Structure 1
Amino acid sequence: MVEPQPARTALVTGASRGIGRAVALGLADAGLDVALLARDEERLAQVAAEVRGRGRRALVLAADVTDPTAVAAAVARAESPAADGGLDGVDLLVNNAGRIDVEVPVWEADVDEWWQVMTTNVRGPFLLARFAVPGMLARGGGRVIDLNSGSGSHDMTYSSAYNLSKTALMRLGHHLHATGHGRGLRTLELAPGVVATDMTAAMGVHADRTEWTPVERTVDVAVAFARGELDECSGWFVRVSDDTPASLRTLATEATAAAPRHLRVLPAGPSDPLSQALTGR
């Protein structure tokens, strides 16, 4: 079993604002150099200046996460030697870039918007993992955080593309854990709760909300994972409105499930003949 070292560098997508910006700055505060990826180069430059103001290196990568050529080039640039302006590799990938569709049932959804959400939220993280993970494994391991959602773990009555995409993203993270853990890859599906962002501000379901999940809780878990403090939770779905680094470390020592915090189909009842098949592997 290969044990990865604490992360020295990170690549954060959707880093120009909101949760991505907060995570990028939190990682910089924790001593990591950060590659910042998003489409808005001007906003990224502002975040990069904040990272550098914390004494860390910052790399601006203006790219669309759904474009394989652009993603491959961005990862290659981040992995290039520091003497050439890179970060000497990517130890931690944070898949944060995402979007949501309008809050209607699937039969009222806009066809193009629906598929664009799936493309951003699933194809994007796939492409980042496809091009970043090989370098991690070649260097003895690394870490991937997917910014997931409570919608990835339960049924929703609106925004069906977002619902499906976050469920698919969780499966992707579980695949990376299952296939890469022995080679030093650690993964985490991290749900940030309901954070006050541009996206949540535009959602009718949150129009009357007065209590929000502090983004600092997401940053705390991301930093702890980057440091290797939550490696025993690799492959897990965590939600920072309930989970903290300390509580997760305790829970990991008590876990008895065959696949803790993984997606499973629930048995219909105690006599369901599929009970073991559904939950025991």
Structure 2
Amino acid sequence: MSYENLAGRTAVVTGAASGIGEAIAVRLAAEGAKVALLARRAERLDAVAEKIRADGGQALAVVADVTDDASVATAVERIHAAYGTVDLVVNNAGIALMNAIEDAPAEESQRMIDTNVTGVVRVTSAFAKDLTAAAAQGRSADLVNISSIAAHLTGFQGIAVYGATKAAVTQLSALLRGEFGPRDVRVTNIEPGVTETEIATHVEDDGMREQLAGLVEAFGALAPAELADVVAYVTSRPRHMNLRQLMVLPTRQV
């Protein structure tokens, strides 16, 4: 399904080098949006941008680290110079480093907090004036935060810090809607369930890997392109309509 009113939008997608972020960037570009792709992996980011351009879309690869103020500020300057004001921001960048709390290195927990929470705040703040300006001009303006069903799970081992960061994103999204909604900027929080991503490659503990594999076996997994379709759908609704909270799960996941 195509969503024609995404044409002409200017989007920023963080964590766009792979997985869900890549799929979102590709989909928005296919719908006619100009898309700035942010991630740390330059080679992979360039490959995604080239893929978009080869399919007739517009893409700008911007190497950036959402945990670094100067890096994000430089990215904003590059995006403004190339595309002007942004009216669609997707905070997708995130990491999951799974360990039982007694085994979790402090630096890993801090890295998740810096990326999954502070990074979302940093990018949102950097583009807040863009979003409110676009809305004031009568254009659609969207902030989409990719959280996780892990924000609500209590029965799985090794996800305490990761789940807490995603719970923070979910609550942050709700509170940001209180700030942005009265100024006609939509805020959407999306909580995917089991999804085909690179998370398993970041897990060193054999038990944790088996746990993740068991989830996929039991429930199946969403494809990144399916979540990208959800993002395209919610951001293409009439500007007076805000789908604020979506939990997107494989049918068998309960």
Settle same-fold status: TM greater than 0.5: yes
Q: Which moved more, 1:140-149 or 1:153-162?
A: 153-162
1:92 to 85, 88, 92: 88
**1:186 aligned partner:** 186
CA distance in 2, matches of 1:40, 1:174: 31
Q: What is the TM-score of this pair, normalised by structure 2?
A: 0.84
Q: How does 1:98-247 map to 2 (within 5 A)?
A: 98-104=94-100, 106-140=101-135, 142-155=141-154, 156-201=156-201, 202=203, 203-204=208-209, 205-208=211-214, 209-210=216-217, 211-228=220-237, 232-241=241-250
Question: Are the aligned partners of 2:41 and 2:63 in contact in 1 as well (CA < 8 Å)?
Answer: yes
**2:33 aligned partner:** 32
Q: How much has 1:240 moved relative to structure 2?
A: 4.8
Which residues of structure 1 form unaligned runs of 5+? 81-85, 243-281
Deviations 1:128-184 (A, max 9, x none): 000111111022262111111001134354221111100111111112111110111
State the secondary structure of the residue aligned to 2:135: coil
Letter in 2 for 1:69: A
State the secondary structure of the residue aligned to 2:83: coil
Structure with the larger RCO, 1 or 2 (CA within 8 Å, 6+ apart): 2
Question: Are the aligned partners of 2:20 and 2:224 in contact in 1 as well (CA < 8 Å)?
Answer: yes
CA distance in 2, matches of 1:136, 1:54: 28
CA distance in 2, matches of 1:153, 1:134: 31
CA distance in 2, matches of 1:167, 1:47: 30
**Number of residue pairs matched?**
232
Deviations 1:108-129 (A, max 9, x none): 3211111111111001110000
Describe the shift of the 1:152–1:25 C-alpha distance in structure 2 as closer, same or farther (beyond 3 A): same
Describe the shift of the 1:230–1:214 C-alpha distance in structure 2 as closer, same or farther (beyond 3 A): farther
**2:68 aligned partner:** 67
Q: Which moved more, 1:24-33 or 1:200-209?
A: 200-209
Letter in 1 for 2:189: E
Which residues of structure 2 form unaligned runs of 5+? none
Aligned-pair identity (%): 31
Alignment of 1:18 with 2:19, yes or no, is: yes
State the secondary structure of the residue aligned to 2:44: helix
